[in-house]
Amino acid sequence: MRPRLHRVSHPPVPVLSESRFFFYENFLSTEINLTMKHFEIKASRLTAGIVLFSSLLGTAAHAAAPANITLLNVSYDPTRELYQSENASFASYWKQKTGQTVTINQSHGGSGKQARAVIDGLEADVVTLALAYDIDAIADTKLLSTNWQQKLPQNSTPYTSTIVFVVRKGNPKGIKNWDDLVKPGISVITPNPKTSGGARWNYLAAWGYKQKQTKSAEQAKAFVKALYKNVPVLDTGARGSTLTFSQRGLGDVLIAWENEAHLILKEFGSDKFEIVAPPVSILAEPPVAVVDKNVEKHGTRKVAEAYLNFLYTPQAQEIIAQNSYRPRSAAAYKKYASQFPDIKLFTVKELFGTWRQAQKAHFNDGGTFDQIYTP
């Protein structure tokens, strides 16, 4: 158990004026801004009384303010490097603003497994997972409210990514687009969508490409089936597939997160691999959320919310771009535009509805993925 030092954390500044500081005006609409303020006020209802009282008096503030706060961010695999930088940046921002020292512990693993860990009692203050369905599953256990995705701007996703291909240097098989993946003799590496969040994005990207092209779900299904015929191994996670492709030399093409693709080039050398951006792909939105029950228990709601809102600030958006995630901020995107090839992106909502619906139709037992494989 991590030590919890306090029940109510409050900075020596009045809480209401502070909530303005959370927002990054440049890319937030007033509408969201208003609901956010509302949420902020409502959310801190439990502690607002005490906080306001002591703030107005201006006394006892220093005595009650804890010197150290610990947050636990439960995240998925590829964000390790991203959050290391973000956490350091947030800690200095928070220290400057409130004088408190905040330590953020990170936990990483497969997105579904991490969600399960939180459901089973891992006391995460915030979760930052690979797809909305995993946070929905946590919401089903009442640890946070089911409308969590409306609580932060842009579907609660401060950064996005997409799905691209990694091929061996020189692209010997001439892979340019999704259609090349179903050609006979091409070996495709992608993890198992049953166990990997990243693989579900891969699957929906391939499906969506075909469905947009042909306007037919039947053809999309046949296309995905043909694609998985070319898959010789289904690793349980995205990192496993990365290793299978890069270390063990299996496969002609790896379907991967854009940020993971950049990492492969960085780690294993751009003299061995190259990235191929398909003309059409999916807008992957890995969402973030405060786990209500846990922050109430730890008294860390204010700092947890500030932490997630911080991810939308210009400073944090820059770190996001540096880690090869696509920033939401237009300014940061422009600055690092050379990293992000022009891909026509479609959303899950556009083609598949909510993540719950997508999960049910494609990945649950008896879904389209199960129908690909027959004895």
Instruction: Name the residues that contact another protein, by CB under 8 A.
Output: 110, 112-113, 115-116, 119, 137, 140, 192, 194-195, 231-236, 240, 244, 247-250, 363-365, 370, 373-375
Closer to another protein by CB, 149 or 160: give it: 149
Q: Kindly state the smallest distance separating residue 375's Cβ from another protein, in Å.
A: 5
Closer to another protein by CB, 59 or 364: give it: 364
Q: Kindly state the smallest distance separating residue 224's Cβ from another protein, in Å.
A: 14
Nearest residue to 209 (alpha-carbon basis) of 143, 165, 171: 165
Contact call for residues 278 and 159 (beta carbons, < 8 A): no
Query: How many Å apart are CA 128 and CA 86, to the nearest integer?
Result: 13
Q: Which residues are paired to 284 by β-bridges?
A: 161
Q: Which residues are paired to 345 by β-bridges?
A: 281
Closer to another protein by CB, 134 or 305: give it: 134
Which tokens belong to 240?
A: 């496993």
Closer to another protein by CB, 269 or 314: give it: 269
Q: What values do phi and psi take at 165, rounded to 5?
A: -110, 145
Q: Kindly state the smallest distance separating residue 70's Cβ from another protein, in Å.
A: 28
Closer to another protein by CB, 30 or 247: give it: 247
Q: Kindly state the smallest distance separating residue 149's Cβ from another protein, in Å.
A: 18
193, 196, 202, 205 alpha-carbon torsion, rounded to 10°: 80
Q: Kindly state the smallest distance separating residue 316's Cβ from another protein, in Å.
A: 30
Closer to another protein by CB, 100 or 246: give it: 246
Nearest residue to 290 (alpha-carbon basis) of 309, 275, 271: 309
Which tokens belong to 73?
A: 């961010």
At residue 100, the 3 state secondary structure works out as: coil
For the purposes of burial, counting CB atoms within 10 Å of the CB of 123, is it exposed (0-12), middle (13-18) or buried (19 or more)? middle
At residue 290, the 3 state secondary structure works out as: strand
Query: How many Å apart are CA 364 and CA 194, to the nearest integer?
Result: 8
Q: For the chain, first and last CA: distance in Å?
A: 46
Closer to another protein by CB, 192 or 313: give it: 192
Q: Kindly state the smallest distance separating residue 233's Cβ from another protein, in Å.
A: 4
Closer to another protein by CB, 103 or 146: give it: 146
Query: How many Å apart are CA 230 and CA 186, to the nearest integer?
Result: 6
90, 92, 95, 96 alpha-carbon torsion, rounded to 10°: -110
Closer to another protein by CB, 7 or 194: give it: 194
Helical ranges in 74-110 per DSSP H: 80-98
Q: Kindly state the smallest distance separating residue 363's Cβ from another protein, in Å.
A: 7
Distance of CA 92 to the CA centre of its chain: 23
Q: Kindly state the smallest distance separating residue 114's Cβ from another protein, in Å.
A: 11
For residue 280, give the DSSP letter.
E
Closer to another protein by CB, 231 or 261: give it: 231
Q: Kindly state the smallest distance separating residue 134's Cβ from another protein, in Å.
A: 9
Q: Kindly state the smallest distance separating residue 199's Cβ from another protein, in Å.
A: 11
Query: How many Å apart are CA 165 and CA 258, to the nearest integer?
Result: 8
